Every structure is written in structure tokens, then in C-alpha cells.
Structure 1
Amino acid sequence: MRGGIAVLAAAAAVMVSAPSALADDGAARGRVVEDAGTVGYRINLDGGGDYIAKLFGFKLSDGKSLKLYCVQITVGMRTDVDMVETPWNKYPAADSPFNKNSDKINWVLHHGYPGLTLDEVGAALTKQGVKVHDGISEREAIAATQAAVWHFSDGVNLNLQKPLAEANPAEANADVAALYSYLIGDQNKGIGAQPKPTLNISPAKADGKAGTKVGPFSVATSGDVTSLTTELPDGVKVTDADGKELKTADVKDGSKLFVDVPAGAKPGDGSFSLKVTGELDTGRLFVAENYARKPAQSLIVADSEKTQVAAKAGASWTEAGAVPSTPAPSTTPGGAPSGGGELANTGVDAAVPFGIGGLLLGGGALLLLVNRRRSRA
């Protein structure tokens, strides 16, 4: 973020709590807390411009904390909007280098700071034959790591001749340049697999019939399931594929859940919820809610602590044997079904009701004729 933007937006750092740590689709959400971050240095970029490198403090709606770097250098930071966990392929700028370099950014986060400790970062440089001066300081590590992230997310380059914009020792400039060069260099082969979601249930909604198992609902989690709760009518249960009712301890990453509805159940619906304890892994992306209306600098997780998150899925069902209603086919002005296709086959010959009706109508007419002849006799 440009240093002139009132030191990373001087908005009031008030955390507005939401009822849970999740968006409606189960994604984690939270807000930047301005005073909770750690400033590195103001850095120079090739072509002009100086920007403050900062490791941001971020508070989830459940009160737990994350540390994040930004991945949109020219978009202003905001502390007054919710940031929602978002898949890499939903990055809000379609033409951004982020989309082709996300695996490189992930490698930077795992090999820079705080993905590695300061001692580990210094040791990695020493192993490459790079001299550092009294180790790498936290400010140097933050400046170099953020600059490397921006290199891949925004296509900008650190000025290696004078990395630091302010009057700082030559040793600090050299250390920042060395770490930055390492993080964007040949050693960076990328970490292509997107971090596994802390918790996701897919699909979020499924339909079926009484007498069947509605589902499956697939569970993806990087944490430990701590709660399975249901809001279902009597007799309706959450089970596995064999119909065994599931308890919390039975559910884990990769589990497939079903809503088992008895054959005699009336049409209805219900839901179940899971909670897990886990970490929002390094590399998770957070994008502003309603980004199109209120753009805010997107963020990516550099470090996290354990947090509890939850997700919910729903099911609905019709009566056993009920045939879903079929809309009448649209017709052309001449009255024929549009598209030239046949009427949907629902398992009953459409001519049968008309044949039976014709027989009943013919039989009634014959009986009426016989009665009239008898009355004349």
C-alpha cells in the first residue's frame, strides 16, 4: 500500500463482531485490525514509487487471530469491511498476475517470514552462500517477504540498488535485497496445491424422496470435527451410506454423509451442522465481501492460530413415490411442442387415461340408448 495513504488507511480499528466466524457458505470471515500488525520498512520499487511493507493483524469473527500480507498493491486497505475466505480461482482481478503465480506466492509464504522463524530464514540464506549481517531482523524479513509476494501478485520489482526508501544502514538494504532475491529466485518451484479448506460441506443443499438417503454430502476439513448437530424431524437421521447413524467421532475429512428419511415421512426439510477445530493454513486468500461495491485490498494468510469454524448443509424431501411435477411444454404459435421433442415419459402411457375415458363415455352412451328403448316399449 502506498505510504501516503494515511499510513495504511487511518480508519478506526474497531472490530465489529459477527455472530459466527463464517460467511453463509461456511467460509471464515474477519477484519483487519490496524494496530495489531507489524511494520517492516518502506520499500522502493523499480520505476518509482515507495510502499510500506506490513504484516497485518487480522481478527476472525470468533476472536482468533491471523497474520496476513496483502496481494493487491494498488488497492486501498480497509478496516470497515468484512474479509471472507475465498478460493484462489475467485481472485477479484481477472487480469492479475496472481492468477498464474499463486503457487509461487504460496512458496514465498512458506519460505519467508513468519512461515519460517527468523533463524530458519537466515539459515536458508546461509545455505545458499548468502551473507547476512547479524542475522535477519523482523523488519527486514517482513519487507523482503512482502516485496516478493507483490512481485508475483502485482508484477512489480524491488529496487535492488536501494531497496529501502528511508535512510537505513547499508547492511539492512543488503539483507532485504538478499532475502527478496532468494524468495523470487530459482529455488522457488511453487507450492501448487491450494491449502485444504478448514471446513467445507458439499453440496450445501440436496433434495430427495422419503424412503431414500438424501446425499451424499462430502466433508473436506483440515481440522478435527468437534460437533455434529442436527435440525431434523423425528425419525430422520444423519447416516453413512449403509444407514448407520453417525456420531461426531465418526465424521472426518473425506466422510460422506446422508440424510436418511423413513418411507412414511411427510414432505419436509432439515439440516445438520459440523464444527471443527483447525488452522486457516498459510496461503488462504481473503477478499472483501461485496468487493465490487466496496473494493478493499485482498489478503493472504502468512501465519495463523487454531480456530473453531462451522458449516451447515440442508436437505429436503417429497413423499415416497411422489412424481416430481413436470412443467407443460412451451408451444409454437401453431400449437406444436417447441423444439420438435417428445413429451417427457413419466412412466405411464399418456394415452391410457384417454382410452379409459373413451370407454367409459362410450359405455355410458350405450346404457342411455338401451334405457330409452326400454322406456318406449
Structure 2
Amino acid sequence: MRGGIAVLAAAAGVMVSAPSALADGAARGRVDYATSTQAYRVNTDQGDPFAKLFSFKLSDGKTLKLYCVEFGTNVRDDVDMLETPWNKYPDAGSPFNKNSAKINWVLHHGYPALGLDAVAAELAKQGVKVHDGLSEFEAITGTQAAAWHFSDGVNLDLKKPLKESDDANANADVSALYSYLIGDQNTGIGAQPKPALDIAGPKTEGKAGTKIGPFQVATNGTVTSLTTELPDGVKVTDADGKELKAADVKDGSKLFLDVPAGTKPGNGSFSLKATGELDTGRLFVAENYAKHPAQSLIVADSEKTEVAAKATASWSETPAAPSTTPPTTPGGAPSGGGELANTGVDAAVPFGIGGLLLGGGALMLLVNRRRGRA
């Protein structure tokens, strides 16, 4: 490998598609030499290149940090690099293909996915103490060399890993980090899911005076925003009617639209936003690689991205309450349907007694009138 080969470090976490995209959804960008960090030149069994942490500018203006793989090819800053699935690596016979999980583990546990103190702490757990902490140059060099080991079968000279430095402490620290990253602790990390957010609501219609839902949230990120487009009085709540804020919503949360009685028929919606990490391990390969070959790059630090989802619902008027007044006959008397309370007395009895009393009074009046005539 020639000295111009660079080490690229980029977003820590997962091997997934990025948000800034080409027509096919692939992110694109270019190496920016001016803001890249060149560390030590190394001694290996395949050459003595410089280790570099490359800056990479995406077409949407964001910047990533990347290390390089594909050891025998030069890095170029005059061609666009496209994000590519790991199984589309340009060299089908490279160790990169069988060691992709190992490489991803290196990226997650090396620098800059972990800060300098965090990397030193990981070494301390293995009983290895670095000298006066771990410098950025040492961290870049050890991480890049470990990536090359798995991507191209490159082996670092552990006795004197640094070509142009006789600093014993720096040489020892680089060897220690490299040995840790390629050692037994490296159990591999597979592809990680990209940030996602979904709201599923099997019931999206209802009546005023009820709760419409549930709308179930599924996300692998952190919900940061809850906004609504709802009439006055309509709220996003939990099953108990408690109004919710963004901080209350998590993966698996069940949300409802609480529509008060008397609300005019209509519809409304609510939206969620969540942030997640596009993690280390994303692969960038030169556009039109066959015509313009350039060293492939892998992301070494995580990039935050935002995803959003929206749910809508509609409602009709409040259903009329059932009438408590019994229907009547045409004459105005109550018709069947209601029953008198059972007091143990036949309801017809009073009418019979009244009839007898009325009949007896009329008979007595008739008798008195006849006596008067006599």
C-alpha cells in the first residue's frame, strides 16, 4: 500500500443506509483531505502507510469520520463515494467479506466511536495501562491497523509498530490497542437496524365522547417531539385519559385521541419525531468503481438522524342518549312497555271498589227521589 492511503473513520454503530441519498437511496459524499487527521506511519508486513482518520462530507452538508479498507488502493478526493451494502464490497475475494462482523466490532470499540478515555478504560479492564493516557494519534493508528488486519490480512509489527517514531511509550500503546481490537474479545457485531418509527392504529374512527385508538408506537430511537393538529379539547392521552407529552412516549406506548362529547364531527392528527444513530460500519465505495477505482471507506463515528411518523383519526357526533319516556298511544295514554311496581295488590281492585261505591251512591239517590214523590 502506498503512503497516500488513508484511514477513514466514520459514524459509530450500524451498517445501514443513510438519510442523504442518491436516486437509489444511497448516501454520497467526498473525502476532505484538509480536515482529515494524519497520525503515525506504521510498520506492517505489507507496507508502511500513514494511518489517517478521514473527514468525509456528505452531499447534504453533514460530515463523517472514516477509516479506509482495501489496503492496496489509494484514497481519492476527486470522485464521489456512494454508501454500499457490505455484501457489495468491490473485491469479492477479499478477507473483508468473511470478517465484516469483526471489522464492525473494531469500529465500535475503537476511536472515535469511543472517546480516548473510554478506549483507555477498555484496555485497563484487560490489565493494560497506557502511558500518560491514550493520545489521538495512538488511538487512530491502533484502530486503523486493526481494521486493516481484518479487511486485508495486514499484520502490524508489534515490536515496533511506528515507522518514524522511536517513542517507546507510543509504540507500546499502539501495540496494546491493536492487540486488544483483534484479540479474543472481538466477538463481532452484525449489521444493525437503521433508526425507525411507526404508529399503527387499527381503529381510526370513532364517536365524540369516546377515546379513539389505541395507536401503538414502534421505534428503536428516542421520541423527541409530539405535535398535534386537533380541534380545541381533543387531546392525545393514554388509556386512562392522561394527556401525554413527547417524554412519555416510548417503544410500545399506546396512544389515544380523547374526543370530548359535543365535539363537532371532524378529524385530526398527531405526529411524532424520534432521533436515532446511524452507526459505525457503513461502507462507502467509489461511484463507477470499475472506471475510477478508489479506496473504500468505513464509517467510524455515529451520526444522529431523525425519523418521523403521523397518525390521523376521524369522529362523528355523539350518539343520542336512549329516551327514558315511554311511548304513548294515539289517545295519549301510555302504551305497553312500562310495568307498574308490584305491591302485592291487584291493580284492578281499586277500580272495582270505586265502581261499586259510585253505583251504590246513584242507587241511594234514586230511592230518595221516589220517596219524595210519594
Q: Say whether the fold is shared (TM-score over 0.5).
A: yes
User: What residue in structure 2 maps to residue 115 of structure 1?
Assistant: 113
Matching of residues 23-62 of structure 1 within 5 Å: 23-46=22-45, 49-62=47-60
Gaps of 5+ in 2: 8-18, 198-217, 226-245, 252-272, 309-374
User: What residue in structure 1 maps to residue 142 of structure 2?
Assistant: 144
1:195 aligned counterpart, secondary structure: coil
User: What residue in structure 2 maps to residue 127 of structure 1?
Assistant: 125
Q: CA deviation at 1:2?
A: 2.2
CA distance in 1, matches of 2:290, 2:188: 30
User: What residue in structure 1 maps to residue 99 of structure 2?
Assistant: 101
CA distance in 1, matches of 2:222, 2:33: 29
Q: CA deviation at 1:161?
A: 1.3
State whether residues 37 and 55 of structure 1, in contact with CA within 8 Å, keep that contact through their aligned partners in structure 2. Answer: yes
User: What residue in structure 1 maps to residue 2 of structure 2?
Assistant: 2
Structure 1 pair 277–61 and aligned structure 2 pair: CA distance change class (3 A): farther
User: What residue in structure 1 maps to residue 297 of structure 2?
Assistant: 299
1:67 aligned counterpart, secondary structure: strand
Match of residue 196, structure 1, among 193, 196, 209: 193
CA distance in 2, matches of 1:88, 1:220: 24
Say whether residues 1:70 and 2:68 are aligned partners: yes
The aligned length equals 235
State whether residues 197 and 222 of structure 1, in contact with CA within 8 Å, keep that contact through their aligned partners in structure 2. Answer: no
Q: CA deviation at 1:132?
A: 1.2
CA distance in 2, matches of 1:177, 1:45: 12
Post-superposition CA distance 1:338-370 (Å, at most 9, x none) = xxxxxxxxxxxxxxxxxxxxxxxxxxxxxxxxx
2:94 aligned counterpart, secondary structure: coil
State whether residues 6 and 51 of structure 2, in contact with CA within 8 Å, keep that contact through their aligned partners in structure 1. Answer: no
Q: CA deviation at 1:167?
A: 2.6
Structure 1 pair 225–72 and aligned structure 2 pair: CA distance change class (3 A): farther
State whether residues 38 and 55 of structure 1, in contact with CA within 8 Å, keep that contact through their aligned partners in structure 2. Answer: yes
* More RCO (CA 8 Å, sep 6+): 2
State whether residues 196 and 281 of structure 1, in contact with CA within 8 Å, keep that contact through their aligned partners in structure 2. Answer: no
State whether residues 30 and 81 of structure 2, in contact with CA within 8 Å, keep that contact through their aligned partners in structure 1. Answer: yes
Post-superposition CA distance 1:101-133 (Å, at most 9, x none) = 000000001111111111111111111111210
- TM-score after normalising by structure 2: 0.57
Structure 1 pair 181–101 and aligned structure 2 pair: CA distance change class (3 A): same
RMSD, aligned CA: 3.1
State whether residues 67 and 299 of structure 2, in contact with CA within 8 Å, keep that contact through their aligned partners in structure 1. Answer: yes
Q: Which of 1 and 2 has greater Rg?
A: 2
State whether residues 42 and 165 of structure 1, in contact with CA within 8 Å, keep that contact through their aligned partners in structure 2. Answer: yes
Structure 1 pair 75–287 and aligned structure 2 pair: CA distance change class (3 A): same
CA distance in 2, matches of 1:133, 1:92: 39
Structure 1 segments, 4+ long, off by >2 Å, are: 195-200, 219-226, 275-280, 304-310
CA distance in 2, matches of 1:61, 1:276: 23
Matching of residues 1-377 of structure 1 within 5 Å: 2-3=2-3, 5=4, 21-46=20-45, 49-192=47-190, 194-197=191-194, 278-307=276-305
Post-superposition CA distance 1:43-70 (Å, at most 9, x none) = 0002x52011011100110101100000
Structure 1 pair 78–199 and aligned structure 2 pair: CA distance change class (3 A): farther
Post-superposition CA distance 1:152-194 (Å, at most 9, x none) = 00011001111000033110000000100000000000112x1
Structure 1 pair 309–147 and aligned structure 2 pair: CA distance change class (3 A): farther
Q: CA deviation at 1:225?
A: 11
AA at the equivalent of 2:285: V
Post-superposition CA distance 1:181-226 (Å, at most 9, x none) = 000000000112x1334689xxxxxxxxxxxxxxxxxx99979899
CA distance in 2, matches of 1:223, 1:281: 15
CA distance in 2, matches of 1:304, 1:38: 18
State whether residues 66 and 297 of structure 2, in contact with CA within 8 Å, keep that contact through their aligned partners in structure 1. Answer: yes
CA distance in 2, matches of 1:82, 1:94: 21
Identity among equivalent positions (%) equals 69
CA distance in 1, matches of 2:185, 2:164: 30
Structure 1 pair 125–69 and aligned structure 2 pair: CA distance change class (3 A): same
Post-superposition CA distance 1:59-95 (Å, at most 9, x none) = 1101011000001111111111111111111111100
Gaps of 5+ in 1: 10-19, 201-218, 227-248, 254-274, 311-377
Q: CA deviation at 1:276?
A: 8.8
State whether residues 279 and 303 of structure 2, in contact with CA within 8 Å, keep that contact through their aligned partners in structure 1. Answer: no
